[in-house]
Amino acid sequence: MHAMTRPQFHRLAETARKPLRLTIDGRSAEALEGDTLLTAILVNARRLNINQFDRTPRAGFCLMGACQDCWVRLEGGERLRACGSFAADGMRVITHGG
């Protein structure tokens, strides 16, 4: 399960955008309109996922959709790249097993 305390990112700018509510791994989270899913995850959690080979935390790799590091799923099963997909109000994101 995600460590939802001590997020990886701390928002310093663009704080006036419309807030969005979503769920990340079953926990309530907040993002701002225009945030990518990766940003939304990392302002609410310490990591994106766990490396399948050595079990170390991962926060994304290339951050531009060229690698396979940031796949997540929506509750309905749809796979998305967190770095290239925008957060939406009411979204239910599952980071493990993406």
User: Sign of torsion, CA 5 30 82 94?
Assistant: positive
Q: What are phi and psi of 51, to 5 degrees?
A: -60, 130
Task: Give the chain's domain count.
Answer: 1
Is 11 contained in some domain? no
Establish if 7 belongs to a structural domain.
no
Q: Is the pTM of this model over 0.95?
A: no
Q: Which domain holds residue 27?
A: 19-94
pLDDT tens-place string over residues 64-90: 778 888 899 999 999 999 999 999 999
- Which helix (H) or strand (E) covers residue 58, if one does? strand 57-58
**Higher-pLDDT residue of 53, 90:** 90
Domain with residue 67: its CATH number is 3.10.20.440
Q: Is residue 2 part of a domain?
A: no
In this prediction, residue 1 has a pLDDT band, given cuts at 50, 70 and 90, of very low
Average pLDDT score over residue span 32-57: 89
Compute the distance between CA of residue 26 and CA of residue 1 in angstroms, rounded to an integer.
9
Residue 5 lies in a domain: no
Asked whether the beta carbons of 94 and 25 are under 8 A apart, the reply is yes
Q: Tell me if residue 20 falls in helix, strand or coil.
A: strand
